[in-house]
Amino acid sequence: MTNIYGMLGLVAFLAGGALLYHLGSGRVPGVLKPVARLWARAGHDPKWIRAGLWALFVLIAGAMALFVGFYLYHALHFLGSGRQ
């Protein structure tokens, strides 16, 4: 089970890094450009696409904090007790 959590953590880390790169450069990721075009053609403000991407980044960062925090909590809780 730990391997699955490790793989999910790696995917979340890579996705968050790629998303942060695109947000920092002010671009929409290429995968989401058709969605952004449809959104703009429908008459909606394109800034909400970036707001949604920032919300997605916050969710990914929260997932990473949970992945790391869960194991860190257990490691610190059982520190010195000899339990594994």
Per-10-residue mean pLDDT of the chain, 84 residues long, equals 76 84 83 86 85 87 83 81 65
pTM of this structure:
0.68
Structure tokens, 20: 């942060």
Q: Which amino acid is at 3?
A: N
pLDDT of residue 82: 66
What confidence score (pLDDT) does residue 15 get?
A: 85
pLDDT of 30 reads 83
54-71: b or e for each residue (b if 16 or more CB lie within 10 Å)? eeebeebeebbeebeeee
Q: Where are the alpha helices (DSSP H) in 1-84?
A: 2-25, 33-41, 47-77
CA 36 to CA 28: how far, in whole Å? 8
Q: What is the pLDDT of residue 83?
A: 63
